[in-house]
A and B are shown apart, each in its own frame.
Chain A
């Protein structure tokens, strides 16, 4: 058999999955646009253009996608919105995943009282009402971007922890884990070397599902007025602004909504594709 590294093999598989590649390309395009467009455009996300209030999209010339109620260029604002949403989404998800995986694998593998303690903690945290919690944090610490991370991260890891614990319980009984125990492998090495790599599939797919749900969470917070502070904006804030004027100026809602939907679609398909691609067993 020809030599194939795990990653090369996975990449090959992923390439064959059209939906996943489409999602990946879309994400890449949006990311690049979000990073580069604000530099290219003569407009900023915060300076009002009093001459051109609430302009509809005009695909010729500047103000490509129109302006909002304060005359700020919608394209640039949307790109900034993408930046913030993606940042929050990816960063918060990363933290979420790391905490959730470590928590779940430890609880699942060690079992016994530690498991019970750890999972009861999860249960308790689950029952904390999220919105009041965020409101309290906002009141205490003000509306900081970092706060959004913390708030979202503090809640999202619970799901992953539960899923990972379940998977760990199944993995624990697999023969190769027994073989590693016989070979003398201790708990930390077992978790890091054997369990986590074999959970990658489910962790990846869960992460790629977490990212859109985090972005939506943040959008929800922004919608409620708890998100990033104006003039800084996120897709959620933009949607909130646009929803208010939906009937007269639909582009204000449609533009950010389309981008939001596109990002979520892309992550979902990419996640599915990654999960399939990373399974090392031949079909």
Chain B
């Protein structure tokens, strides 16, 4: 069992929202989330809108402040670092963004974009050395040398994402947070990029945090899966265990909702649909936040918030999950 690269405990992210009609409200985007990622492994964070998965990514990258919790990384709490120490830590945690074209500066060439992390952290390199590092990385992600002088808008979504990946990996970071890296891509390109990420992970020994709402993609790319709903952890399990024996009703509902490209199977499967709407994150339900849509909710679910329990390899937060 490899050592954890990242160990997150009780992470919370809150936003202050201005209320219509004066005053402020507290939006608990992420509430008390804990997980760890082992070296060389990929942890998938799955959830729908309002689940807080993007906020987790942003809090870890220190783009938004965390309201509480710790994130042990390279011997220090990533969430507590400031100034020079934080700057140094950035070298080892990088991010791949959802919208590849939006995450690339439209006025910079491909070379400048990919070389930027080197300019910040590897100032000792001269222009020629930088260029050869950039070219090497480009080759690895499947871009041609002639792309060096082009601009982002000249590329398709898939190629732009490759540029983003090259930029994120050029410093060989310890941890790469992938925030919905496939969502903006065409179907035939998603699989190309999934393969690429997997290959690169193996080649470079990367540790990945893979955030997505696409369960099927997560299944291919991840070793462990964390399921979030309204900012809270519902279930955390190794991939095969989660997909074969989901313990939480929400996980089961998610799996049932994934469309299956097979008419016979789709017709045969008439699973119970999740009723109702996502509650407002400003006023989450008492007790278990999922209870308002849960097909098997009981009175005690409203009274008491379920603690995470261990059942086999799974950690699940549900009063009714049986061993």
Residues of chain A touching chain B, judged by Cβ–Cβ distance below 8 Å, are 1, 3-6, 174-176, 178-186, 189, 193-194, 197-198, 200, 280-282
Provide 9 A-B residue pairs closer than 8 Å at the C-beta atoms, listed in order of the A residue.
A6-B151, A178-B97, A179-B167, A180-B105, A183-B116, A184-B117, A184-B120, A197-B107, A198-B107
10 additional A-B pairs beyond A3-B146, A280-B151, beta carbons within 8 Å, are A1-B150, A175-B97, A175-B103, A176-B103, A176-B106, A183-B120, A184-B87, A184-B90, A184-B117, A185-B120
B104 contacts the other chain (CB 8 A): yes
B154 within 8 A of A: yes
Q: How far is the CA of A180 from the CA of B87 in the complex (A)?
A: 12
Closest Cβ neighbor of A183 among chain B residues? B117
- Mark out the residues of chain B between 45 and 73 whose CB falls within 8 Å of any chain A CB in the assembled complex: 61, 63
**Is B300 in the interface zone, CB < 8 Å from A?**
no
Instruction: Kindly supply a per-residue 1/0 record for chain B positions 80-121, scoring 1 wherever the CB is within 8 Å of any chain A CB and 0 otherwise.
Output: 000000010011011101110011111110000000110011
- The answer to whether A184 and B121 have CB atoms under 8 Å apart is yes
Cβ contact within 8 Å between A185 and B99: no
Are A182 and B90 within 8 A (Cβ)?
A: yes
User: B107, A6: Cβ atoms under 8 Å?
Assistant: yes
Contact A183 B94 (CB under 8 A): yes
The number of A-B residue pairs with CB atoms under 8 Å apart is: 72
Cβ of B310 < 8 Å from any Cβ of A?
no
Min C-beta distance of B127 to chain A, whole Å: 16
A198 near B63: Cβ-Cβ < 8 Å: no
Within 16-67 of B, Cβ neighbours of A (below 8 Å) are at 61, 63
**What is the bound-complex CA distance between A135 and B73, given in angstroms?**
63
B105 in contact with A198 (CB, 8 Å): yes
Give the interface of B toward A (CB within 8 A): 61, 63, 87, 90-91, 93-95, 97-99, 102-108, 116-117, 120-121, 146, 149-151, 153-154, 164, 167
Tell me whether A282 and B95 are in contact in the complex, defined as CB-CB below 8 angstroms, given that A184-B90, A197-B107 are known contacts: no
Residue of B nearest to A281 (CB): B153
Q: In the complex, what residue of chain B is closest to A9 when comparing beta carbons? A: B151
Pair B167/A280 contact, Cβ less than 8 Å? no
- Contact partner of A179 (CB less than 8 A), chosen from B103, B149, B153, B154, is B103
Contacts A6-B107, A184-B91, A185-B116: A175 and B99 contacting too (C-beta < 8 A)?
Answer: yes
**Which residue of the partner chain, among B90, B107, B154, contacts A183 with CB atoms under 8 Å?**
B90
Give every chain A residue within 8 A of B164 (Cβ-Cβ).
Answer: 179
**Complex formed: what's the CA distance from A281 to B151 in Å?**
9
Q: A100 CB to closest chain B CB, in angstroms?
A: 20
**A181 to chain B: which residues have CB within 8 Å?**
63
Residue of A nearest to B116 (CB): A183
Q: How far is the CA of A185 from the CA of B116 in the complex (A)?
A: 8
| A33 to B120 CA separation, bound complex (whole angstroms) | 49
Contact yes or no, B120 A178, CB < 8 A = no
Question: Smallest distance from the beta carbon of A109 to chain B beta carbons, Å?
Answer: 14
Whether the pair B116, A176 counts as a contact (CB closer than 8 A) is: no
Residues of B close to A174: CB separation below 8 A: 102
Give bound CA distance, A278 to B19, whole Å: 40
Asked whether A179 and B117 contact (CB < 8 A) given A3-B149, A5-B149, A280-B153, the answer is no
Beta-carbon contact of B120 and A280 below 8 Å? no
Q: Which residues of B contact A176 (CB under 8 A)?
A: 102-106
Q: Which residues of chain B are within 8 angstroms of A189 by Cβ–Cβ distance? A: 120
CB contacts (< 8 Å) of B154 on chain A: these are: 1, 4
CB neighbours of A5 from chain B (8 A) = 149
* Pairwise interchain contact A183-B106, C-beta atoms closer than 8 A: no
A175–B153 touching, CB < 8 Å: no
* Minimum Cβ distance to chain A for residue B43 (Å): 19
Min Cβ gap A170→B in Å is 13
Chain A neighbourhood of B108, CB < 8 A: 193-194, 197
- Given known A-B contacts A6-B151, A182-B90, A183-B120, A175 and B107 have beta carbons under 8 A apart: no
Which of A174, A179, A280, A282 is the most central at the interface, judged by chain B CB atoms within 10 Å of its CB?
A: A179
Q: Which residues of A contact B120 (CB under 8 A)?
A: 183-186, 189
Residues of B within 8 A of A193 (CB): 108
In the A-B complex, the 6 residue pairs with the smallest Cβ-Cβ separation, listed nearest first, are A175-B102, A184-B90, A175-B103, A197-B107, A184-B120, A176-B105
Residues of chain B within 8 A of A185, CB atoms compared:
116, 120
Asked whether A178 and B103 contact (CB < 8 A) given A183-B117, A183-B120, A184-B120, the answer is yes
Q: For the complex, give the distance between the alpha carbons of A3 and B102 in Å.
A: 21
Instruction: Please measure, in the bound complex, the distance between the C-alpha atom of A193 and the C-alpha atom of B106, giving whole angstroms.
Output: 12
Chain A neighbourhood of B63, CB < 8 A: 178, 181-182
